[in-house]
Every structure is written in C-alpha cells, then in structure tokens.
C-alpha cells in the first residue's frame, strides 16, 4: 500500500507492484511524532521509524493448535490483537502497507493521514463463493471502509456418508478479509465483485474480462483477486481519477493439473501486457499505449528453495525489479515475481532480505500464548528503518522457511 490517493487508477495500473494491500499508497511525507508508548498495546511511537512490524503479542489457547476448533479459537484471539495494534498505529499516522495471513503479521508505514481497521471471516461450502461477503462489504462500505486484503484461511472436507466416499463430500472454505478507512470519514466506498462459476463449456476468463470491461467504462478498476472465479473492483473517487487511455484487460488462469500461469503470463508480457494482480492460478494483466511498446518478462522465484539468494543475485544483475508475491494453493506467499525488460535500459534494482523470527511462550495456567521478536529479529527491524534512510523501500512480506521482508532500491 501507499499513502494519499491523488490518482487512484494510475496507482493501480502504473505504479506497480500492485499486490494484496499495496494498491492504495503513494510516496509518503514524514510527519513529526512524539516518542511515546501505549500502555494498552505496548507500541512505541518513534518519529525515526518509517516502518513498524506488527504481530499478535498475546492470544488465547495453545502454541500449537490441534484440530480446526483450536485453530479457530487461536485465530479469533490473534486477529483482534493485531487489529487493536493497527488501530493504535493508525491513530498515530501509520498505514497498513503489507500483511501475511496465517501468522498473521503486518508492516505499517508512516503516513500523512489516520486510519481505522477491521476484519471479517467467511465460511463457504465451495471455494468460488464467499458466503456473506457481499452483504458484509456493503455494510462496511456505508461506514467508509474498503476491502484492502483477502487471505485464504483453510479448507476442510468430510465424506457425506463415511462408508461411501463416492457419494461426495461436504466442504468448508474459510477466507479472511481486512477492511480499512480514513479515520473520521464515512463516505461510502463503491466496491463490487465480478464473478463466474465453473461449468462444462464455460469460459471463466472471457466472462470475467467482459464484466471488467463493462465496469471500466463506469470507472471501476480491479483491486483484488479472491479466487480463479472472483475479482474485486473499486470505483475511482472522482472524474480526475479516470484514465483517458482505457486499458485492455486480460484475465489469465492456469489450466490442467500443473500450474502453468507463469507461461501464460509471459506469453502476454511479450505483447506488452503488464501484471497487475495475482492469486493462486490467476492473474489480471493490462496493456495500454505506453506498455504496448515495451515487452517484458516475468520471473517466478521460489523463496523457500536453497538457491533463493543466488536466484535473487542473478535477477539483480540482470536489471529485474520486484513486482509481487505469488501464493501456493494453500495461500502461502512463498514465491516472488520479478519483472525484467527484454531490452536492457541500464537501470538496476538492489535487493535486501531481512528474516523475522519469534520467541513464543505458552502459559498453561493462564491458557495464553505470549509472542515477542527474537533479539536478531529486533535488530532486523532496526535494519529495515536504517535501510529506509538509504533510499530502500520495503516491498513485501513473504515466507521462506520463516517470515521474510524484501526491500528494494532503484539505482
């Protein structure tokens, strides 16, 4: 994410990377803050910190959940703690920039405005429908909230009749949504979901493209992908935010048993299309008069491979720039996507990776779990802000064998 919205669409279509929470922030001005600690959350506000790492510091339950019921209890305890901290920081001119599901963990960035946050979880019988989402989104929109992030939480299935698996399964798919609003503003945010359904002879990509194209004419632009069948749109705030050059939007979906999305994305990238949004098995791409003249290549890098650091060094030397994470089928953001121009323009990006680990202590008497950063991770957070003073920008959170942060500096 980026700060104050001065030109909504240009942020969406031109100022990549555009991923998860990152669609709405622009370059941010620093404001002076008094160093202070909140007795409620334990957060220290320091005007020297451009970025802050946020994670649940205490939650009810056990360190390791056994079964969905315990996992649900843990999740419903962790998230309010995280949201409480985000709201505390939001009131001190910090805005959510990046987040990971699962842990959960987030990075906030110093901003000019103040923000509020909330969350909502859906439970659905099929993966391509988020039951109750549209009603909740409409309710939150009236209060000025917008959906800024979606995480796939879990999937569980049981045979309808245990002894007869051929008769099918009953499944539950759980998804988490984060909401954000500018503090004190209640103007309704216009977001809508375009979707389709799997079926024999259907062409989901074509159907989604048609719906998006129709809504582009009304000033709606894609901002998030929930599944291979669902894309969230948001209307530009005013006429000044409408693009004069209407983009050609393509929806690309993987096919077959193997994920071949990278191949399909690069087929369009050679034709001047740019990657805007991704989720597992799906990407939204666009092309306009400017991008059509500059073909590019997208490189997927598995962050949990032993060769990750070598792969990153090669991309850095080749002039690639970071674009977004790519989640696996479980929703784990463990791949990074980089963009490389086919014609070298001489510009180079420099990457830094910082790793985050936690000390986790379970208090069986209190039935609570307490979480803190390890000493080395506290130093990593300090390094993150030190690098920011050297013109590095935090680009994302992702998973290696631990939580990691990627920073980038363009030279």
Instruction: Tell me the pLDDT tens digit for each residue of 165-189.
Output: 777 889 999 999 999 999 998 899 9
Supply 192's token pair: 């809508």
Domain that holds residue 125: 31-158+172-187
C-beta separation of 267 from 253 below 8 A: no
pLDDT at 55 over 90: yes
Whether residues 312 and 183 share a domain: the answer is no
Measured between its terminal Cα atoms, the distance across the chain in Å is 22
Give the three-class secondary structure for 74: helix
- What percent of the chain clears pLDDT 70, i.e. is strictly above it? 86
Q: Read off the pLDDT band of 66 (50, 70, 90).
A: low
Can you give the C-alpha Rg of the chain in angstroms? 21
Backbone angles phi, psi at 385, to 5 degrees: -75, -30
Domain-embedded: residue 385? yes
- What percent of the chain clears pLDDT 90, i.e. is strictly above it? 67
Domain-embedded: residue 329? yes
Judge residue 328's burial from the number of C-beta atoms within 10 Å of its C-beta, 0-12 exposed, 13-18 middle, 19 or more buried. Answer: middle
Pick left, alpha or beta for residue 165 (phi over 0 → left; psi -120 to 50 → alpha; otherwise beta): alpha
Output the pLDDT for position 147: 97
C-beta separation of 127 from 227 below 8 A: yes
Beta bridge pairs of residue 321: 339
Give the three-class secondary structure for 1: coil
Count of C-beta atoms within a 10 Å radius of residue 155: 13
Domain-embedded: residue 240? no
Among the listed ranges 35-44, 89-98, 278-287, 312-321, which one has the minimum average pLDDT value? 35-44
Average pLDDT over residues 229-240: 84
- Closest C-alpha among 134, 125, 54 to residue 86: 54
Place of tokens 């079926």: 199
Question: Which residues in 55-132 belong to E strands, given as ranges?
Answer: 58-60, 94-100, 105-110, 115-124
Q: Which residue has the higher pLDDT, 247 or 15?
A: 247
Domain-embedded: residue 270? no
Give the three-class secondary structure for 221: strand
pLDDT at 392 over 50: yes
CA 384 remoteness from chain centre: 19
Domain-embedded: residue 262? no
Domain-embedded: residue 216? no
Output the pLDDT for position 256: 76
Whether residues 323 and 183 share a domain: the answer is no
User: What is the H or E stretch that residue 277 is in?
Assistant: strand 274-279
Average pLDDT over residues 332-339: 96
SS (H, E, C) 341-368: ECCCCCCCEEEEEEEECEEEEEECCCCE
Output the pLDDT for position 407: 98
- Closest C-alpha among 11, 7, 16, 2 to residue 269: 16
Spatial CB neighbours of 289, under 8 Å, sequence gap ≥ 6: 245
Q: Read off the pLDDT band of 61 (50, 70, 90).
A: confident
Among the listed ranges 10-14, 137-141, 159-163, 323-327, which one has the minimum average pLDDT value? 10-14
Supply 324's token pair: 């977004």
Output the pLDDT for position 234: 95
Q: Which residue has the higher pLDDT, 89 or 164?
A: 89
Output the pLDDT for position 135: 96
C-beta separation of 299 from 340 below 8 A: yes
Backbone angles phi, psi at 239, to 5 degrees: -65, -30
Beta bridge pairs of residue 154: 174
Q: Which residue has the higher pLDDT, 333 or 28?
A: 333
Mean model confidence pLDDT for the chain:
86
Output the pLDDT for position 31: 37
> In whole angstroms, what is the distance from residue 67 CA to residue 22 CA?
33
Output the pLDDT for position 398: 97
Output the pLDDT for position 118: 97
Average pLDDT over residues 37-64: 76
> In whole angstroms, what is the distance from residue 79 CA to residue 81 CA?
5
> In whole angstroms, what is the distance from residue 244 CA to residue 299 CA?
30
> In whole angstroms, what is the distance from residue 50 CA to residue 316 CA?
25
C-beta separation of 24 from 236 below 8 A: no
Q: Looking at the 3D structure of the chain, how many domains does it have?
A: 2
Beta bridge pairs of residue 21: none
Output the pLDDT for position 64: 73
Domain-embedded: residue 87? yes
Domain-embedded: residue 214? no
CA 217 remoteness from chain centre: 26
pLDDT at 249 over 80: yes
Exposure string of 11-31, with b = 16+ CB inside 10 Å and e = fewer, is bbbbebbbbbbbbbbeebeee
């Amino acid at each position: 994410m980026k700060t104050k919205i001065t030109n909504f669409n240009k942020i969406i279509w031109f100022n990549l990377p555009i991923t998860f929470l990152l669609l709405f922030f622009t370059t941010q001005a620093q404001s002076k803050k008094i160093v202070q600690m909140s007795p409620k959350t334990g957060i220290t506000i320091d005007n020297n910190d451009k970025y802050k790492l946020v994670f649940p510091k205490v939650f009810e339950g056990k360190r390791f959940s056994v079964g969905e019921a315990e996992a649900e209890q843990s999740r419903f305890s962790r998230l309010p703690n995280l949201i409480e901290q985000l709201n505390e920081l939001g009131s001190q001119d910090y805005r959510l920039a990046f987040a990971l599901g699962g842990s959960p963990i987030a990075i906030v960035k110093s901003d000019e405005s103040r923000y509020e946050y909330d969350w909502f979880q859906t439970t659905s019988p099929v993966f391509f429908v988020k039951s109750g989402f549209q009603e909740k989104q409409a309710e939150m929109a009236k209060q000025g909230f917008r959906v800024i992030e979606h995480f796939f939480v879990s999937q569980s299935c049981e045979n309808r009749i245990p002894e007869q698996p051929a008769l099918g399964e009953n499944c539950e798919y759980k998804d988490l949504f984060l909401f954000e609003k500018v503090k004190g503003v209640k103007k309704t945010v216009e977001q809508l979901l375009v979707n389709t359904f799997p079926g024999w002879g259907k062409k989901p990509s074509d159907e989604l493209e048609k719906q998006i194209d129709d809504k582009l004419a009304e000033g709606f632009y894609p901002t998030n992908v929930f599944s291979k069948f669902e894309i969230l749109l948001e209307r530009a705030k005013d006429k000044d935010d409408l693009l004069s050059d209407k983009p050609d939007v393509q929806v690309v979906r993987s096919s077959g048993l193997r994920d071949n999305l990278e191949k399909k994305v690069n087929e369009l990238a050679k034709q001047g299309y740019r990657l805007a949004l991704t989720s597992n098995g799906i990407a939204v791409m666009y092309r306009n008069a400017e991008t059509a003249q500059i073909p590019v290549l997208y490189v997927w890098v598995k962050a949990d491979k032993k060769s990750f650091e070598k792969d990153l060094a090669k991309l850095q030397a080749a002039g690639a720039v970071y674009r977004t994470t790519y989640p696996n089928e479980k929703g784990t953001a463990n791949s990074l996507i980089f963009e490389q121009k086919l014609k070298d323009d001489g510009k180079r990006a420099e990457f830094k990776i910082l790793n985050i680990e936690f000390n986790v202590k379970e208090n069986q008497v209190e039935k609570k779990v307490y979480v803190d950063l390890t000493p080395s991770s506290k130093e990593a957070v300090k390094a993150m802000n030190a690098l920011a003073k050297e013109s590095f920008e935090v680009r994302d959170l992702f998973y290696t064998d631990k939580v990691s942060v990627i920073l980038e500096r363009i030279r």
